[in-house]
């Protein structure tokens, strides 16, 4: 009798301890870094870092009187979070700070029209490519024919985003004087006020700005970027989140969702 009593008490204690450990782990770890939150009661947070100056990828829009961050990258981020059963938190940060924020663990993933360069691949994990686009040259309307080839940009003043592949691209143009700025809208302002001659911008973003801003156009010049396509950035070594992200991306691709998101976001950016 006594023996059984001790045994069941021990068992009870052991089970109790195990449960406590489980709860502790799920409860305390839930805010940490992008792992699927299976079986926990507190909803896990997945923190996205993005530079929301980039319509139709990510941009600010007042929706129902409230400033919101929207765009097709944001749709993708929401789906990744949903597939993980996590709550998405969005941090709007300068583009050139995103990979550092990732490495320091202040954000779990970067979705920000990020191109997969070799240098970035050394620093962080990069997902499969989820979308592709080309580069564009944007100039003042009157200069459209003057700057119709890449050669014609030699020795000109060029505006680019700090830390972007466009900055590297512009560095390769002979005699070009670069103005590197934090936001695309700032580059467009420089162009409008004659402080730069041209801007190199991702095609879809260039289209969106040209539609909304008077006096600027896309020229026929075609910048050649090696790293076409966009990827999600994840902290080095977090292969669990990387696998999860790739799974969601391949599902979205096969369901035709990414093209749909691009169309919807482009429409939203024009409104
Ligand atoms: N695709 C370019 C790069 O990776 C520019 C991306 C800029 N993204 C942004 N949200 N402003 O360098």
What's the confidence (pLDDT) of residue 36? 47
Q: Would you say the CB of residue 115 lies under 6 angstroms from ligand 1?
A: yes
For residue 147, pLDDT beyond 60: yes
Q: How far is the CA of 229 from the centre of ligand 1 (A)?
A: 11
> How far from each other are the two terminal CA atoms of the chain, in whole angstroms?
78
Q: How far is CA 119 from CA 99, 116, 164, 223, 262, in A?
A: 11, 8, 12, 20, 27
- Across 42-58, average pLDDT: 95
Q: Tell me: the pLDDT tens digits for 166-176? A: 999 999 999 99
Q: How far is the CA of 117 from the centre of ligand 1 (A)?
A: 11
Q: Would you say the CB of residue 136 lies under 6 angstroms from ligand 1?
A: no
CATH of 135-218, one of 1.10.1060.10, 3.30.43.10, 3.10.560.10, 3.40.190.10: 3.40.190.10
HSE, CB side, 13 Å, CA atoms: give it for residue 221: 29
- Across 220-235, average pLDDT: 92
Show Cβ contacts of residue 154 under 8 Å, excluding neighbours closer than 6 positions: 173, 174, 175, 176
Q: Which residue has the tokens 């709860």?
A: 23
Q: Would you say the CB of residue 58 lies under 6 angstroms from ligand 1?
A: yes
Question: Mean pLDDT lowest for which of 6-10, 79-83, 161-165, 231-235?
Answer: 6-10
Q: Would you say the CB of residue 164 lies under 6 angstroms from ligand 1?
A: yes
Q: How far is the CA of 230 from the centre of ligand 1 (A)?
A: 9
Q: Would you say the CB of residue 209 lies under 6 angstroms from ligand 1?
A: no
Neighbours of 271 (CB within 10 A): 6
Q: Which of 95, 98, 123 for a ligand 1 pocket mutation test, highest count of atoms within 8 Å of Cβ?
A: 95
Q: Would you say the CB of residue 112 lies under 6 angstroms from ligand 1?
A: yes
d(CA 126, CA 50): 15
**Whether the domain at 45-132+228-270 and the domain at 135-218 fall into the same CATH topology:** yes
Neighbours of 118 (CB within 10 A): 8
Burial track 72-90 (b if 16+ CB lie within 10 A, e otherwise): bbbbbbebbbeebebebeb
What's the confidence (pLDDT) of residue 42? 76
Q: For ligand 1, what atom is nearest to the CA of residue 115?
A: 4
Across-strand partners of 110? 49, 233
- The reported pTM is 0.84
Q: Give the pLDDT band (50/70/90) at residue 226.
A: confident
Residue 54 in contact with residue 111, Cβ under 8 Å? no
What's the confidence (pLDDT) of residue 41? 62
Q: Give the pLDDT band (50/70/90) at residue 32.
A: very low
Q: How far is the CA of 54 from the centre of ligand 1 (A)?
A: 8
Domain regions of the chain by residue span: 45-132+228-270, 135-218
Q: How far is CA 167 from CA 63, 71, 155, 159, 246, in A?
A: 33, 23, 15, 8, 28
Q: Give the pLDDT band (50/70/90) at residue 30.
A: very low
Q: Which fold has domain 45-132+228-270?
A: D-Maltodextrin-Binding Protein; domain 2 (3.40.190)
Q: Which of 114, 123, 226 for a ligand 1 pocket mutation test, highest count of atoms within 8 Å of Cβ?
A: 114
**Mean pLDDT, all residues of the chain:** 88
Strands (DSSP E) found in the chain: 44-50, 53-54, 58-63, 66-70, 86-92, 109-110, 125-126, 135-140, 157-161, 177-181, 198-202, 216-218, 233-234
CA angle 161, 114, 38 (to 5 degrees): 140
d(CA 185, CA 192): 11
For residue 50, pLDDT beyond 90: yes
Q: Is 110 helix (H, G, I), strand (E, B) or coil?
A: strand
Q: Give the pLDDT band (50/70/90) at residue 97.
A: very high
Counting residues of the chain whose pLDDT is more than 70, the rounded percentage is 85
């Amino acid at each position: 009798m006594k023996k059984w009593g001790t045994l069941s008490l021990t068992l009870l204690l052991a089970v109790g301890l195990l449960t406590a450990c489980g709860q502790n782990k799920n409860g305390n770890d839930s805010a940490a870094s992008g792992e699927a939150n299976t079986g926990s009661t507190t909803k896990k947070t997945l923190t996205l870092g993005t530079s929301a100056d980039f319509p139709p990828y990510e941009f600010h829009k007042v929706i129902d009187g409230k400033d919101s961050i929207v765009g097709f990258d944001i749709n993708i981020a929401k789906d990744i979070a949903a597939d993980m059963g996590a709550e998405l938190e969005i941090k709007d940060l300068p583009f050139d700070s995103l990979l550092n924020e990732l490495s320091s663990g202040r954000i779990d993933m970067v979705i920000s029209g990020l191109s997969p360069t070799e240098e970035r691949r050394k620093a962080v994990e990069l997902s499969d490519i989820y979308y592709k686009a080309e580069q564009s040259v944007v100039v003042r309307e009157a200069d459209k024919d003057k700057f119709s080839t890449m050669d014609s940009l030699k020795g000109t003043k060029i505006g680019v985003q700090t830390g972007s592949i466009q900055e590297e691209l512009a560095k390769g143009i002979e005699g070009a004087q670069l103005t590197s700025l934090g936001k695309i809208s700032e580059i467009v302002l420089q162009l409008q006020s004659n402080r730069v001659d041209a801007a190199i911008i991702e095609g879809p973003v260039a289209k969106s700005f040209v539609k909304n801003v008077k006096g600027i156009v896309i020229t026929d010049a075609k910048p050649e970027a090696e790293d076409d396509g966009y990827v999600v950035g994840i902290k080095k070594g977090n292969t669990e989140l990387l696998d999860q992200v790739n799974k969601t991306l391949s599902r979205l691709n096969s369901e035709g969702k990414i093209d749909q998101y691009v169309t919807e976001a482009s429409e939203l950016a024009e409104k």
